[in-house]
Amino acid sequence: MKRTASICVFLTLVALTLRISPTSALSQTSTQVDIPHGGALYDNWIAATGQQAPAGNHPLWSRQANNPLSGPDTWRCIACHGWDYQGKDGAYRSGTNYTGFPGVLADAQTQSVADITDILSGENDPSHDFSKYIDTAGLNDLAAFIKTATINDNQYIDPFTYDVIGGDSTHGKTLYNSACATCHGDDGARINMNFEGVQAGLGTLASIDPWRFLHKTRFGTAGTPMVIGYTLGWNPQDGRDVLLYAQQTFKTGLEKPTILPVLPGDQTTAGEPAQNVFTGFLTAIGAVMATAGFTMLLGAILVIILFIVLWSMRNNKQRRE
Ligand code: HEC
Ligand code: HEC
């Protein structure tokens, strides 16, 4: 009995130690991965490593011509692979952010950390070599982040309104006030951020780029002292609750874009799908009508109808003869 009790005490102590200091527990293992560091590198490895951005555009950037960004921004993972980790198949499937480059989320399912590290070291494509800028430990953290900590956030974001689906904003408020308000203020507006060239508070960001917001709730903002949800022990739902609270409460000061990209694989329960399909149809008709092509099409159809009428008249005539 006494032995069982002491084993229990021992196990409790072990559990507590692991909980209180996850990093010291990890450092005893051989691999020492730092997932939040991987998340920060994915956001902005230039800021996270404190180096100067390489000159010019990333060598792969010229393989696309749609996205007008240039310089340091083109070197960030998020520029090509997106805040939702889904590249051309996610939020960046249309608009100026579109590059046509793949996402990294699928890799988490199919590739090992070593495979992903190889991709990041240019093994498959020499233009995709980041080993000159990010050390081996960093590349390993990045790969481990992709493998274990990327999430398909699109499951929880309404593709039409961008609002969080199924969150708890009361819980979000409690979390926000305890971990975020000291810096961002009760109204989310204390820190003014540069968002794609616009000065914006948290309300604006929450309403127009929920994916970016969610990544930040988990991994902070590279190069700033911002808190990191992952390290606080927040789970992904905690981040979504905070996002919902920000969406519902903070002023945006900006209009939402009128045409929101519809994400693939998302349910159409949001908004009124029937109306969306209908308005989509009307828009399509309108677009066709607006072009000269429609006039030509109409002309062609008339000619074909005339031809069929003449042909059947001639047939009738032949039959009567
Ligand atoms: C300038 C654009 C660009 C940047 C920046 C970039 N990538 Fe990529 N990435 C690509 C392209 C294009 C591919 C497709 C394979 C290739 O040609 O290299 C790719 C492939 C990948 C893949 C494999 C995806 C697959 O489906 O096979 C992973 C993982 C990846 N990148 C991670 C990263 C990470 C992490 C960063 C940041 C350190 C990063 N990439 C930065 C363009 C980029
Ligand atoms: C210690 C101060 C601090 C705390 C606490 C803090 N932040 Fe931040 N946050 C910052 C700073 C600094 C920035 C960067 C401002 C800039 O880009 O100019 C930032 C940026 C952000 C951004 C946008 C970054 C971008 O460029 O896209 C989001 C979203 C954000 N914070 C959310 C949160 C949330 C949610 C919490 C609570 C979990 C939080 N912050 C807690 C300091 C803080």
pLDDT at 11: 47
CA of 271 from ligand 1 middle (Å) equals 34
In the chain, how many domains are there? 2
Out of 8-17, 77-86, 260-269, pick the least confident.
260-269
Q: Look at ligand 2, atom 43, and give the residue with the nearest C-alpha.
A: 226
Distance in angstroms (rounded) separating the CA atoms of residues 220 and 102: 24
Share of the chain above pLDDT 70, in %: 73
Q: Are residues 175 and 111 in the same domain?
A: no
Q: Which of 213, 240, 261 is the last residue of a domain?
A: 261
* 130 shares its domain with 46: yes
Atom of ligand 2 nearest to the CA of 234: 38
Domain presence at residue 207: yes
- Whether pLDDT at 135 is above 70: yes
Which residue in the block uniquely carries the two structure tokens 């919902």? Answer: 244
Residue 129 sits in the same domain as residue 170: no
Q: Kindly report, residue by residue over 73-123, the tens digit of the pLDDT.
A: 999 999 999 999 999 999 999 999 999 999 999 988 899 999 999 999 999
- For the chain, the distance separating the N- and C-terminal CA atoms, rounded to the nearest angstrom, is 114
CA quadruple 245, 246, 247, 248: dihedral sign: positive
Is 2 a domain residue? no
**Among 101, 218, 86, 96, CA closest to 159:** 86
Q: Give me ligand 2 centre to Cα 46, in Å.
A: 18
| pLDDT, the chain, mean | 81
Q: Return the residue whose CA atom lies nearest to atom 24 of ligand 1.
A: 104
Bridge partners (DSSP) of residue 4 are none
Torsion 221-227-232-238 (CA) sign: negative
Q: Which is more confidently placed, 212 or 306?
A: 212
The domain that holds 195 is classified in CATH as 1.10.760.10
The rounded distance, in Å, linking the Cα atoms of 298 and 48 is 59
pLDDT higher than 60, residue 245:
yes
Residue 54 pLDDT level (bands cut at 50, 70, 90): very high
Per residue in 57-74, pLDDT tens?
A: 999 999 999 999 999 999
Tell me the pLDDT band of 313, cut-offs 50, 70 and 90: confident
Is the same domain home to 135 and 98? Answer: yes
CB atoms within 10 A of CB 233: 9
The encoded tokens of residue 32 equal 């020492």
Alpha carbon of 209 to ligand 2 centroid (Å): 14
Q: What is the DSSP letter of 265?
A: T
Name the residue among 147, 15, 155, 16 with its Cα closest to residue 90: 155
- The residue out of 128, 152, 176 marking a domain boundary is 152
Indicate if 139 and 75 belong to the same structural domain.
Answer: yes
Task: Give the ligand with the smallest distance to the CA of 146.
Answer: 1
Does 165 lie in the same domain as 76? no
The residues, ordered by sequence, that sit 6+ positions from 191 with a Cβ below 8 Å of its Cβ are: 183, 184, 185, 201, 202
Of the candidates 33, 50, 222, which has an alpha carbon nearest to the alpha carbon of residue 145?
33
Helix 113-120 × helix 136-149 angle, to 10°: 130
pLDDT of residue 10: 52
Position 174: which residue type? Answer: T
Overall residue count recorded for the chain in this entry:
321
**Single-letter amino acid, residue 138:** G
Residue 204 CB–ligand 1 contact under 6 Å = no
Examine the pLDDT at 277 and tell me if it is beyond 50: no
Is residue 48 lining ligand 2, measured as CB closer than 6 Å? no
Task: Please report the pLDDT score of residue 299 as a whole number.
Answer: 64
Residue 109: strand pairing partners: none
Distance 211 CA to ligand 1 centre (A): 19
pLDDT in tens, 185-233: 999 999 988 877 778 899 999 999 999 999 999 999 998 999 999 999 9
What SS3 state is found at 164?
strand
The helix (H) or strand (E) run that includes residue 184 is: helix 181-184
* pLDDT at position 289 over 50: no
The radius of gyration of the chain from alpha carbons, rounded to an integer in Å, stands at 27
Locate 280 and state its tokens.
């989509």
> Residue 6's pLDDT is what?
57
Note whether 144 and 168 are same-domain residues.
no
pLDDT in tens, 18-53: 444 444 434 434 468 999 999 999 999 999 999 999
In angstroms, the CA 62 to CA 273 distance is 38
- The CATH number of the domain holding residue 114 is 1.10.760
Host domain of residue 191 = 158-261
In this structure, what token pair is assigned to residue 144?
């481990």
Identify which ligand lies nearest to the alpha carbon of 215: 2
Query: In this predicted structure, what is the pLDDT of residue 291?
Result: 45
Whether residue 8 is contained in a domain is answered as no
